[in-house]
Amino acid sequence: MALSGTFGFNPSMGDAVLYAYGLCGIRRAQVLQEHMVDARIAANLVLADWLNQGTNLWQVELVTQTLTQGVSTYVVDPSILVLLDAYVTIGPPGPPIDRVILPISRTEYANYPNKTKQGFPTVFWMNRTLTPTVTLWPVPDGQTPTLSYYALQQAQDANFSNGQNVDIPYAWLNAFALGLAEKLAMSWAPDRLPMLAPAAARAYDIAARAGVETANTYISPMLSSYYRT
């Protein structure tokens, strides 16, 4: 059996757009500059829609923030949308030890009476404004030099220049092409929407169901009594 021996299939943004227009019934020779302008906007809107539908593993990155004693709030990169798992590192002296801290809501943070209390941070609150921040409580006391967190970051901009690719993995290429075709059909081929909309939804669902972590989940019953005798 003859195989290619390569794993490089990754069409450029331009190729993906031309394919999407083909699904809309618009052939390559018919594509004009205005088609391409709409396609660039539509491509980035597809990526934005995906962020609103769940956590995509390829967009999760680990960020490390140096902590300062007495400082509770730190600026988060605006491209980061959600903080997932977070932990602080203890030490030196001694070997570094990581301890998980938990997220809280704005309401819960507002209920803390002493927001300047220093100690070992146990919780964090992300203020999701246009300039997001993360606030720790208790306030770092100098014994925890760093905060590390896994964050959901928005995809890089989709552009045509220099044959750029779209910031998605191989398994999501079909979902992207069909999602892009659906958006473009709204303007350029509304008669194709009844065909493209369900196809795009199905392709997204297939990719999303496959794009999850494969670790096992364990549920253990509480064996101790609820009441003390």
Question: Which whole number is the average pLDDT over 183-196?
Answer: 97
Distance CA 54, CA 49 (A): 9
Average pLDDT over every residue of 5-19: 96
Widest distance between CA atoms in the chain: 82
| φ/ψ of residue 103, rounded to 5 | -80, 150
Output the CA–CA distances (angstroms, integers) from residue 124 to 80, 121, 138, 209, in the order listed.
Answer: 15, 8, 9, 29
pTM: 0.85
- Given a cut of 60, whether residue 77 has pLDDT beyond it is yes
Percent of the chain surpassing pLDDT 70:
96
pLDDT of amino acid 150: 97
Q: What per-residue confidence (pLDDT) applies to 228?
A: 52
Average pLDDT for 27-31: 95
Structure confidence by residue, pLDDT tens digits, 112-141:
999 999 999 999 999 999 999 999 999 999
Decide: 54 and 81 in contact? Cβ < 8 Å.
no
